[in-house]
């Protein structure tokens, strides 16, 4: 297997292992077992636990950032864009559940070596939502009272709840109604 191909395979296996065992528990041996390779092979590609964790959280961040950008590109208003991001996130919980599980675990891990990556993710998420709002304002949307930071925390909190609802097999129609209500609340600022 080519070097890049093997690294991609090991990263996929690491995502699955982290999704099942947690960021704080999964390690090189779990990835080796998942990939059916030796533990030294995993160390060849991820020489330390820190390198392994960084690769996994970077991949999760890349995945959700790309999906959010893609989801918003098809809609014209901030309200539509937020709804699209949340719907796409809900869909990803079914199509790529390991990403959602790692993300939720990552967001609740306050370990010194993991938390700075999540802070970086949140900084990027804040910028993403701030840019959405600024573009909406430039188009003349009535968003003057929308605070990008509150909006980001509301969307992130909703995303965590979506993962929990998906894992509990909550009815998809109910989740859709919930997402619409959250977007309305975020834009109208009625409850925050």
Among residues 62, 91, 77, 89, the alpha carbon closest in space to that of 140 is found at 77
**Residue 189: per-residue pLDDT:** 65
Residue 56 near residue 18 (C-beta atoms within 8 A): yes
Burial class (CB in 10 A: 0-12, 13-18, 19+), 141: middle
Q: Within the chain, which residue ranges are assigned CATH 1.10.357.10?
A: 57-188
CATH of domain 57-188: 1.10.357.10
Find the helix or strand (DSSP H, E) in which 36 lies: none
Fold of 1-47: Arc Repressor Mutant, subunit A (1.10.10)
pLDDT tens, residue order, the chain (192 aa): 899 999 999 999 999 999 999 988 899 999 999 999 999 999 999 999 999 999 999 999 999 999 999 999 999 999 999 999 999 999 999 999 999 999 988 888 888 888 888 889 888 988 998 898 889 888 999 887 778 888 888 888 898 899 899 989 999 999 999 998 988 888 876 544
- Token pair recorded at residue 159: 């995303």
Cα separation, 140 vs 152, in Å, equals: 21
**Residue 102: per-residue pLDDT:** 93
| Helix runs in the chain, H state only | 3-21, 28-35, 39-45, 49-73, 78-95, 97-107, 115-138, 148-167, 172-188
Among residues 62, 64, 26, the alpha carbon closest in space to that of 162 is found at 64
Q: Is residue 52 classed as helix, strand or coil in its secondary structure?
A: helix
Q: What are phi and psi of 139, to 5 degrees?
A: -85, -5
Radius of gyration of the chain, Cα coordinates, nearest whole angstrom: 18
Residue 183 near residue 83 (C-beta atoms within 8 A): yes
Cα separation, 191 vs 184, in Å, equals: 10
**Residue 191: per-residue pLDDT:** 45
Q: Within the chain, which residue ranges are assigned CATH 1.10.10.60?
A: 1-47
């Amino acid at each position: 297997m080519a070097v890049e191909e093997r690294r991609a395979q090991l990263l996929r296996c690491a995502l699955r292992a982290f999704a099942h065992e947690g960021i704080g528990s999964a390690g090189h041996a779990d990835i080796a077992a998942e990939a059916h390779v030796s533990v030294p092979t995993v160390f060849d590609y991820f020489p330390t636990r820190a390198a392994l964790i960084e690769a996994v959280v970077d991949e999760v961040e890349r995945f959700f950032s790309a999906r959010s950008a893609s989801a918003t590109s098809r809609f014209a208003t901030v309200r539509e864009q937020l709804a699209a991001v949340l719907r796409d996130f809900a869909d990803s919980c079914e199509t790529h559940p390991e990403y959602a599980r790692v993300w939720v675990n990552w967001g609740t891990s306050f370990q010194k070596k993991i938390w700075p990556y999540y802070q970086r993710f949140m900084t990027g998420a804040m910028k993403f939502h701030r840019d959405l709002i600024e573009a909406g304002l430039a188009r003349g949307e009535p968003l003057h009272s929308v605070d990008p930071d509150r909006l980001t925390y509301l969307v992130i909190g909703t995303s965590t709840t979506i993962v929990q609802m998906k894992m509990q097999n909550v009815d998809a129609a109910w989740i859709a109604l919930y997402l619409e209500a959250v977007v309305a609340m975020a834009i109208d600022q009625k409850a925050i």
